[in-house]
Amino acid sequence: MHSTLTEHARCLYGDEYRPTPECDREHVEQYFVEELTFADAETILAALRELCPNVIDGRLPVWIRNLAYRLVLLQRPDEPALMREAALNLWTHGPDWDDHAADLEARAEALEAR
C-alpha cells in the first residue's frame, strides 16, 4: 500500500535514484491521477522535488508533471517562485508549451512588481 503520493508515483513510474519498492497493489494510472488531483500543494511539490530534483530528470511522464504544476498553481496562485519553477518545467519539456511558460514568467514578474 502507498502511504504517500511520492510512493505511489515511484511504484507506478519508477525512480531514477531509488529502487522501485515492492508492492502487491495493482498499479492503475487513473488511481494515481485521482490521488494527484486531490492532493495539497505541499504533497505535490514534495513528490515533484523528490522524483525530479533536477527538472530534466525523473521518470514522471511530462503530462503528469504539467498537471502537477498546474494543480499546485491553482492552489497557490500568487507565488512567483512557483510560477518560475513551473515555467522552467515547461521550457525544458518541449516547445508546445513555450507560450504558457512565457505567460507564467510574465505573471511572476508582474506579481513581484506590485
- Over residues 52-84, the pLDDT tens digits come to 998 888 999 999 999 999 999 999 999 999 999
Map out the domains of the chain as residue ranges: 5-113
pLDDT for residue 26: 80
Please classify residue 99 by burial: count the beta carbons closer than 10 Å to its beta carbon, then call 0-12 exposed, 13-18 middle and 19+ buried: exposed
| Percent of the chain surpassing pLDDT 70 | 99
pLDDT for residue 94: 80
Q: pTM of this prediction? A: 0.92
- Identify the CA nearest to 69 among candidates 81, 111, 19, 7: 81
Residues present in the chain in total: 114
Cell of 20: 522501485
Give the confidence band of 1 by pLDDT, cuts at 50, 70, 90. low
3-state class (DSSP) for residue 88: helix
